[in-house]
Each structure stands twice: as structure tokens, then as C-alpha cells.
Amino acid sequence: MLIFGLPQSDHGVYYERVHNMENAVRVTAETKIATRDRILDAARNLFSEKGFDQTTTRDIASTAKIATGTLFNYFPTKEAVATTIVADLLNHAQTGNSTNANATAIEERLFAFILDSLKSLTPVRHYVGAVVETTLSPFARSPQCEAAEDIRVRHLEAVADILANHPTAPQPSFVTAHLYWSLYLGVLAFWSTDESENQEDTLVLLDQATRLFVASVFDNHTKSAPADKGGLS
């Protein structure tokens, strides 16, 4: 039997080459994962020790023992590194989050869900504001960040699930998602610099924000669509 025209005697050589190529691909993938993890570990330590603003991409690369150019193959900016760290924390917290299944009101479930996300971000609280401003905000200055999009999509999907579990909740829409995301980012940014005892001011803001969101969603659901009043210009 021939394999793509190979003589029978060359079959062993062919299979050995294929096996070596598969091993090389696996090693390369494992190396990339290991390098990415070193970058994130280095960034976590430096952000904690030196502060986010004082840490440079060169610092991160040096601590991770890679060239600065290599770092940019994984993350385009320092903010993208920080956003990935935030995304990992939020994803870990969300995986084990029951969104307070015992709560009956949507406001209570949303409050518990957001509060859990804030608690999970406590280790990075001092630079969450920079992440909100540069990658999560609709006015983000950084290039498109996959980690930021992952945070937004996962978070909004969780909120949609909370709404879906309420029998009279309307179907989530683009407007609903945009309103919620704006309120959430406002709470997140406020919490990152809240100096009140136990961040009690954040709890007050969070309570008001969730009530405002739920009231707006259900109020709009009971009203007919507004008449077209023209554009903003």
C-alpha cells in the first residue's frame, strides 16, 4: 500500500515525521501558554509592588524573562494585561456564583451578583479604574481587547439569565444591555476609589443603581414605543 506515493520502505520515516510534527505543535502551544502565564504572574506582582501607573511593559517583560517585543505578541498594551487579570478573576467568581438563588426580587439578585464581582476584584481594586477607562468603557482609548469583550459578554449573559428567570421580565434588548453596562461601569469605577468605611458608599450606589435599572426595564416594557422625534442634530 502506498501513502501519497511513498514507497513501503519509507512509511516508517513518514509516520515518524508526522509524530515529530505533532509533538512540536504541542510543545509550541504549551510554551505559549506558559509564557502567557509568566507575563500575567509578573504583571500581578509588579502592579501590587510598584503600582499600576509606575509599571511599564518593559518591567513586565523583564520580570517574565522575555523580550519586550515578545510581550507584545501576547498583549498589545499594559492595559490589556491588566484587563486579562481582571477577566480571569471575574470568570473564576462567576463560575461558582449562584447569583443568590434564594432571592426573589430581581433587584436582590442583581445586587448580589454585582457585589460578588466587586469582592472578587478586591486584589486588583487599585487599578480597576484604569481598566474601566481604557478597555471596558464605550469610550475606551485602547485597541480592541479580547479580554474586555469577554468580560462584557459573560457579564451581560449572566444578567440576561437573571432577567430570564423572572416570569414577567421583558426580553433583553440592546438598550437594556447598554443601560445596564453603563450603570455597572459607573459602580465599578466608583468602588475603585471609594474610601468610605467598608466601601459603604458603594453599597448605597449599587442599591440605587440596581433599582433604577430594574424600574427602567419594567417601565419601558409596559409602555409603547415612543414616537420618532428626529435625531440629536
Identify the band that residue 202 occupies on the pLDDT scale cut at 50, 70 and 90: very high
Q: Which fold would CATH assign to domain 78-221?
A: Tetracycline Repressor; domain 2 (1.10.357)
Q: Is the pLDDT of residue 139 over 50?
A: yes
Q: Name the superfamily (CATH) of residues 13-72.
A: Homeodomain-like (1.10.10.60)
Average pLDDT for 141-167: 85
| Rounded-to-5 percentages of helix, strand, coil across the chain | 70, 0, 30
AA letter at 3: I
Q: Where are the domains of the chain?
A: 13-72, 78-221
Average pLDDT for 74-79: 93
Q: Give the CA distances from residue 12 to residues 9, 25, 70, in Å, rounded to whole numbers and listed in that order.
A: 7, 20, 37
- The per-residue pLDDT for range 79-113, each reduced to its tens digit, is 999 999 999 999 988 775 555 555 568 899 999 99
Mean pLDDT of the chain: 82
Average pLDDT for 60-75: 94
